[in-house]
Amino acid sequence: MKRQLLITCEHGGNRIPRILAPLFFEAGEALTGHRGWDPGALGVARTMAARLRAPLEYATLSRLVVDLNRSPGHPHVFSEFTKALNPDRRARALLLYHTPYRQKVDGLVGAWLQRGRDVVHVSVHSFTPVLHGVRRTADLSLLYDPAREAERALASRWVRALSEALPELAIRRNQPYRGTSDGVTTWLRRHGPSYRGIEVEINQRLLDAWGAFPDRFADALARGLVVALG
- The CATH code that applies to domain 3-229 is 3.40.630.40
Cis ω for the linkage preceding 176 (within 30 of 0): yes
| E-state strands within 59-99 | none
What's this model's pTM, rounded to 2 decimal places? 0.97
Q: Where are the chain's structural domains? A: 3-229
pLDDT digit string (tens) for the chain, length 230 residues: 799 999 999 999 999 999 999 999 999 999 999 999 999 999 999 999 999 999 999 999 999 999 999 999 999 999 999 998 999 999 999 999 999 999 999 999 999 999 999 999 999 999 999 998 989 999 999 999 999 999 999 999 999 999 999 999 999 999 999 999 999 999 999 999 999 999 999 999 999 999 999 999 999 999 999 999 99
| C-alpha closest to that of 159 among 139, 130, 129, 180 | 139
